Chains A and B, each alone.
Chain A
Amino acid sequence: MISAIWQYVLAGVVVGAIYALVAAGFVLIYQVTGIINFAQGEFAMIGAMTASSLATGGMPPPGAAVIAVAVAAVAGGLCYLCAIRPARAATGVTLIFITLGLDVALRGVGLFAWGTNPLALNAFSSGSAIQIFGGVLPPQAAWVLGTDAIVFVLLYLFFRHTYAGTAVRAAVANPPIASTFGIPLRTFAFWSFVAAAAIGGLGGVVVAPITGATYDMGLTLGLAGFVAAVLGGLDSLPGALVGGFVLGIVEKVAGGLVSTGWEQGVGFLILVLVLLLRPQGLLGRAVRRA
């Protein structure tokens, strides 16, 4: 029994790592623009589908991965330029509806480009399964967790140790004053979409060997990433990391102990509980945005 639960936890860690990447995209965009971008999961789909189809066509996996992330990043930038920026005078609710529309539109593009058949991507490295205290992880899990570590360390270094990161933090803390400092908020909004889409695309690329890639995988990933972001706190990148892992583990454990049909239901149960009991999330701040 214990060993079964441990195995569920390990599986949850892997899924959670992907949720954390998608959640990081939600947090990045929310922090810089105040928008909840419900199209976030589709960037993971674009990454996974692009990499899988290129690799199927014979391209070496590293090249396919780089191009896939670039395609996702371009999609993110275009989403901002074509749909968000023209409506920047709109209210928050309108912008959220626009992102819902983007979500549907991007899934449609995915369907048009790749069809309904699932695509497969080979694991990045061959080798035997990883054993941890009697539990087993596929070799690809190391790539997933390594990607998480690198992305979150880079985000930390950017926000804490670069002028641009400091400027973004100032802009987030106090937009009107930041603009008198010459900090270009709109440019940052654009780059937040590009970065969030690249991170989501990267998540899609590394998870594709485990889950496969389908045109509609973005919906599930996007919702899970949203729950993870709310769970951790929408304004907290460490919260996205913690929220992703907690959600992944709880889903897999509940799914394993009860039935797999419960996996997603548990996620939304958590969402409701968090919103009722601790709306700012586990690591978020209760302070209102300026």
Chain B
Amino acid sequence: MTAAAETAAAAATLAVRNVSMRFGGVLALDDVTFSARAGDVLGVMGPNGAGKTTLFNVISGVQRPTAGTVTLNDVVLSGKSVDHVASLGVTRTFQTPVMFWGLTVRESVVVALAAREFGRRYPPAPLRALVSSGLGSPLRRGVDRALREEADALLERAGIRHLADRATETLAFGEERLLELARALALAPTMLLLDEPLSGLNPDEVHAVLASIRGARAAGIGVLLVEHAVGELLAVADRVVVLDHGRKIAEGDGEQVARDPVVIDAYIGDELE
């Protein structure tokens, strides 16, 4: 972590406190408590049905927890809408990447950059955004160029600069993943929730995604990472939280968790031997 990122990290903490989520008779999350810091990668592990995706849905505002709170720097996120949570600095990706069809790769990133700029100018009213973005003024040309260059830099870092002018409909699955990640990083979130970003990727693409995650960490972004590829997850995560049947059964650094008999018993089995 850089010095600047360290300052940001000291300030930004995502806290999940006593969160439960009940669907009818099923307790998908059972009194889960942990915290994640900006500038760290927090791995979230657990077998299928452990509650990982529900946890992401609760943090990102897709679902309201039955009990407990989620806060970012003591600002309560739980109960707020997805766009409100995102505007407060917590955004996410999905298990299946979703593209903006009809846009090119570069335009997709520009849209995210524009959303970020709009968000910064948004309160109190779109009318102000309309004025402050220089409707029809020559200044806009400079803004367009700046956005374009920033988009290209993000694509370069994601390793897909060569795809910039391709239509998103024509991308392969792995390329979609890399674009989705670049798009999310374009929002410059405080916390980024990645839901199985490595699934379905070839080794080169896995390498590129892991490099992007490390880059995000170096930039002071906190990453919550749900991933089935345990080896890769343990390699990149600073700390790991393990869920099983909605409960947190372990927390610690990768080595501690990998050695924890409860974890081995409940989930990993002899996978790590």
Which A residues fall within an 8 A CB radius of B? 157-158, 161-164, 166-167, 169-170, 173-174, 176-188, 191, 287, 290
Contacts and interface: CB of A to CB of B under 8 A. Distances in A.
Contact of B130 (A162, A169, A170, A180): A162
A179 B86 CA distance: 7
B114 A167 contact: yes
Interface string B95-132: 00010111100000011101111110110001001100
A157 B136 CA distance: 7
13 contacts: A161-B133, A161-B135, A162-B133, A163-B115, A164-B126, A164-B129, A173-B100, A179-B81, A179-B83, A180-B82, A181-B83, A184-B87, A184-B122
A115 to B, nearest CB: 35
B103 A173 contact: yes
A128 B48 CA distance: 79
Q: List the 9 shortest-distance A-B pairs measured between CB atoms, nearest first.
A: A182-B86, A182-B87, A181-B115, A163-B118, A166-B114, A179-B82, A179-B83, A164-B129, A162-B133
A163 B117 CA distance: 7
B82 to A, nearest CB: 4
Tier of interface size on chain B: 35 or more
Contact of A184 (B84, B101, B121): B84
Contacts of A185: 83
B60 interface: yes
Given A161-B136, A163-B114, A178-B115, 12 more contacts: A158-B130, A161-B133, A163-B121, A166-B110, A166-B118, A170-B115, A173-B100, A181-B83, A181-B86, A182-B87, A184-B83, A290-B101
Nearest to B129: A164
Interface string B163-183: 000000000000000000000
A62 B184 CA distance: 48
A285 to B, nearest CB: 8
A166 B187 CA distance: 14
Contacts of B82: 176, 179-180
Contacts of A183: 83, 115, 118-119
B81 to A, nearest CB: 7
Nearest to B117: A163
Nearest to B193: A180
Contacts of B110: 166
Contact of B135 (A162, A181, A182): A162
Contacts of A174: 98, 100
Contacts of A290: 101
Given A163-B118, A167-B115, A191-B126, A180 B135 contact: no
Find the residue from A177, A178, A182, A185 having the highest chain B CB count within 10 A: A182
A177 B129 contact: no
Contact of A187 (B126, B133, B135): B126
Contacts of B60: 180
B92 interface: yes
Given A173-B102, A181-B86, A182-B86, A161 B140 contact: yes
B168 to A, nearest CB: 10
B130 A182 contact: no
A166 B111 contact: yes
A164 B131 CA distance: 10
A164 B117 CA distance: 9
Contact of A181 (B81, B84, B126, B187): B187
A207 to B, nearest CB: 26
B174 to A, nearest CB: 19
A183 B86 CA distance: 8
A287 B101 contact: yes
B129 A162 contact: yes
B60 to A, nearest CB: 7
Given A157-B136, A170-B111, A182 B187 contact: yes
B91 interface: yes
A157 to B, nearest CB: 5
B218 to A, nearest CB: 23
